[in-house]
Amino acid sequence: MNKMYLVSVPILLLILSFVKSESKERTKVSSSEIWETEIGKTTFRTNISLTPSYLVIGSNGDNYRDAYITDSRNGVHIINRKTGKRVKNFSQGSFGDLDVNGTLIYNNLIYFGNDNDEFICADFKGDIKFSLPVSGDVESEAVLIKINGKDALVFGTEAGELRAINPSTGETLWQHFHEDFNGWKMGDNRLVFKVKTHFSSTYLFLEKPIVEDLNLDGTKDLVYQIGAEFYSVNGKNGKILSRFSLNGDWDNHGDKRELFVGSSHNSFIFSKDQGKVRITIPKYNYRLDPGESYGGDGYGIHLVTHDINGKIIKTKKVNEKSETRNFKKIPNKNLICNGGAIYHFDENANFVKKVDFENLKLGNQDYFSYFISDQLLKVDQHKCIVFLYEYENSIVFYDIDNGQVIRKFELKGRSEFIPIVEDINKDGRMNLLFADDSNQLTCIDLGKGINILNK
């Protein structure tokens, strides 16, 4: 995150920043509410990590971009799964932007990065086992892969660094730097770097990567979409594996044959053909009004299959006209969806059918208008995907076979925390966990007849 407060801080705010805010208690919002806990701000990169007893979640505290010197709510929150009571809230250090988004539990230790340019390993008492200075903000959870048969953690920074480490010691196994890297490297002046990064923002390795063995060597590789490029890094050694453009010719963007990407790597479909990995990516063409350079009535949607070097194997138009172009692949299932429809395909990434959503009203048509969960649910007799509408304060379950709304939940405010269905309180029934700008993390009972189909 960009942190502009370092130039000057008014004395009043400096004083107020050391005043610990009181924990607020609220009455239940509905009879289905199990618990509610104030944790601060969350983002679309915030995940949860579970142990048999605890829920671990990162927080951005009271402010996404810390306006004060300290923020008592940011860092890592450890919460009792049954009661919602906060057992521990900790961060590394007392000053700086200690916002946390992604967390990972491995061997009963918590691994997380923060907006203070650190990657940290801690135990459940909040004691720090090691803290690594890194090149920029760590915005997403680390991923676990095996290198030469041994476990390794890989994390990325906004500045453009990927790093694999030994999770026991923090020892670096390899580092990879994007060509547009703009951050700190070992040997650089750390103080100069800290001041510099408060006035710049890069978003190179912002999200959690897809892990996929692209070259079939037995080691998972790291896959990103950066800008309009497919970008993959060899998990074994940190070297570039493949990189190619995903966009057509922008100068001729009115030509419907020119296709462009509007999603992230979370929309990629991986398959195998004759022993080779194929990547199928949803793309769009513009539908411009006559004589217009930008105005039009939507987008045509295509599925384009590449080999790992970027060669186009095949292209299939799957929708003549769509209102939206941001897609999400549902993990472990042959489904992708955008704001208007869900697209079914087979194990070879061949298109099967399109199902339009019922009465969809997106409102604000920008990047953050909606988020799609990774989960596929069985709700009574319906197979459902989960949508979060950020500015409409709503969570919606859609039937994947007919597009009908099966369940709808109203939030107390704007949210970009992608909701999670899980038996959080361990009573044998599924819960819905969500957060919003009320700063509350809420767990409600979904009743009987709910199952997760793609764990």
Ordered DSSP codes for 133-149: E-SS---S--EEEEETT
The first and second tokens of residue 394, run together, are: 């709503």
Distance CA 264, CA 280 (A): 13
Residue ranges of the domains in the chain? Answer: 252-356, 371-455
Q: Which pLDDT tens digit goes with each residue over 119-145?
A: 999 999 999 999 998 888 898 999 999
What's the number of CA atoms in the CB half-sphere (13 Å) around residue 305? 17
pLDDT for 16 equals 38
Whether 77 and 56 have beta carbons less than 8 Å apart is answered as: yes
Specify whether the CB–CB gap between 383 and 400 falls below 8 A: yes
What is the structure's pLDDT at 96? 46
Measured distance CA(246)–CA(259) in Å, rounded: 8
pLDDT per residue as tens, the chain (455 positions): 433 333 333 333 333 343 333 333 343 455 689 999 999 999 999 999 999 999 999 998 876 555 454 556 778 999 999 999 999 998 755 444 578 999 999 999 999 998 788 999 999 999 999 999 888 889 899 999 999 999 999 999 988 999 999 999 999 999 999 999 887 666 555 454 554 555 455 678 889 999 999 999 999 999 999 999 999 999 999 999 999 999 999 999 999 999 999 899 999 999 999 999 999 999 999 999 888 887 889 999 999 999 999 999 999 999 999 988 999 999 999 999 998 899 999 998 999 999 999 875 655 444 448 899 999 999 999 999 999 999 889 999 999 999 999 999 999 999 999 999 999 999 999 999 999 999 999 999 999 999 999 98
- How far apart, in whole angstroms, are the C-alpha atoms of residue 77 and residue 89? 4
pLDDT recorded at residue 1: 43
CA 302, 305, 307 angle in degrees (round to 5)? 160
Residue with tokens 């008014």: 10
Taking the C-alpha atoms of residue 119 and residue 92, their distance in angstroms, rounded to an integer, is 10
Decide: helix, strand or coil at residue 356: strand
CB distance 263 to 328 below 8 Å: yes
Detail the DSSP E strand segments found in 82-166: 86-90, 103-106, 109-113, 118-122, 128-133, 143-147, 150-156, 161-165
Q: Can you name the CATH fold of 371-455? A: Thrombin, subunit H (2.40.10)
What distance in Å separates the CA atoms of residue 175 and residue 238, rounded to the nearest whole number?
Answer: 6
Q: Which amino acid is at 245?
A: S
Average pLDDT, the chain: 87
> Which residues contact residue 12 at a Cβ distance below 8 angstroms, ignoring those fewer than 6 apart?
none
Q: What is the pLDDT of residue 450?
A: 97
For residue 412, count other CB atoms closer than 10 A to its CB: 17
CA separation (Å) from 264 to 191, 227, 290, 303, 322? Answer: 34, 9, 30, 14, 18
At 401, list the tokens.
């076979």
pTM tops 0.75: yes
Contacts for 27 with CB less than 8 Å, ≥ 6 apart: none
Distance from C-alpha of 230 to C-alpha of 244, rounded to nearest angstrom: 5
Q: Which pLDDT belongs to residue 293? A: 81
**Rounded CA gap, 72 and 41, in Å?**
12
Phi/psi-derived region of residue 56, left when phi > 0, alpha when psi is between -120 and 50, beta in every other case: beta
Length of the chain: 455
Quote the CA–CA distance of 112 and 104 in Å, as a whole number: 7
